Amino acid sequence: MRGFLIYNSAEMFYHILALVTIAVWGTTFVSTKVLLSHGLTPPEIMFYRFIIAYALTWIFTCKLRADTWKDELLLAVAGFTGGTLYFLAENTAIDYSLTSNVALVVCVTPVLTALLTSLCYKERITGRLVVGSVVALLGVGFVVLNGTVLQIHPLGDALALVAAFAWAVYSIVVRRFDGRYTTWFVTRKVFFYGIVTMIPFIAAGMGGGLHLDQLFIPVVASNVLFLSVVASMLCFYSWNLVLEKLGTVRASNYMYTQPLVSLVCSVVVLGEPITQIALLGAVFILVGIYVAERKQRKS
């Protein structure tokens, strides 16, 4: 029993860090909406986020490239899946589906991560993990749908599933480095390849190009800096650290809490009421995470 308590105490910091990271990401929709209202486009917002974050990460590491070309290729895959593909798929999905649908579908990321981990690393999926995931997903459904009927939008929902799959692949790829490089180095390379793979979409005219003049507007500049410094540089670093310390499956379980953060923001920022269904969903999410997390080994 004593060893169990010490084990949990040693990891508590990373569990808290995971929750804080997801909490910050759950609030980014407010800043994104502000930037969209000023004429910036989703690809452009992601480009600004990553290029500023990339520049700042040079403060923490000056290592130029990975030790092998295989690792460099894996970093490129991480940058594409966790950056370009995830953000483009998710933001485009909102144009073709309901926001509630996208939020619900993206929350299957922990399930996809567990399946990919099992396939890539031959790790067993426990019954506790399955039960916890199902309970948490039910909770997400209660919170996101909030009593409304689910409406299927094939293209948008499929793009949301692509976003979920992209983030699951990103988590699996980052795990492969397993401490061989510093977390700052991995994070910086992810930003770099996210920028590189986004450039063709901007160059092709996707989203109408760049609106550099808008960056001189104080409210635009402040929200871009928040998304760049806090939501990108610091949160990608902290998430990559959590992936390394807790493992992909355990860390990904915390993504179920993102709808809870959005719910709180809706109440505080938009003044929306909390319904009994949403509260029930919150309980389901917390119980599901607790069940899935108990006695899970690093995976």
In this prediction the pTM is 0.85
Tokens of 222: 């402040």
What is the average pLDDT value for the chain, to the nearest integer? Answer: 83
Distance CA 218, CA 3 (A): 52
Distance CA 162, CA 2 (A): 43
Of 219 and 42, the structure prediction assigns the larger pLDDT to: 219
pLDDT at 298 over 80: no
Listed ranges 138-142, 194-198, 257-261; the one with the highest mean pLDDT? 194-198
pLDDT of residue 155: 84
The structural domains of the chain, with segments of one domain joined by +, span 2-121+150-256
Q: Per residue in 132-166, is it b (16+ CB within 10 Å) or e — as a string?
A: bbebbbbbbbbbbbbeeeeeeeeebbebbbbbbbb
pLDDT of residue 3: 42
Of 268 and 198, the structure prediction assigns the larger pLDDT to: 198
pLDDT at 197 over 70: yes
pLDDT of residue 2: 42
pLDDT of residue 60: 94
Q: Which residue has the tokens 């992209």?
A: 166
pLDDT of residue 147: 62
Quick check: 97 and 160 in contact, CB under 8 A?
Answer: yes
Name which of 107-116, 228-237, 274-283 the model is least confident about. 274-283
In this prediction, residue 100 has a pLDDT band, given cuts at 50, 70 and 90, of: low
Of 147 and 43, the structure prediction assigns the larger pLDDT to: 43
Q: Tell me the average pLDDT across 133-159.
A: 77
pLDDT of residue 127: 78
pLDDT at 103 over 50: yes
pLDDT at 153 over 90: no
pLDDT at 267 over 60: yes
User: For 283, left (φ over 0), alpha (ψ -120 to 50), or beta?
Assistant: alpha
Of 35 and 78, the structure prediction assigns the larger pLDDT to: 78
pLDDT above 70 covers what percent of the chain? 87
Distance CA 136, CA 38 (A): 36
Q: Tell me the average pLDDT across 227-249.
A: 92
Q: Tell me the average pLDDT across 204-210.
A: 66
pLDDT of residue 35: 87
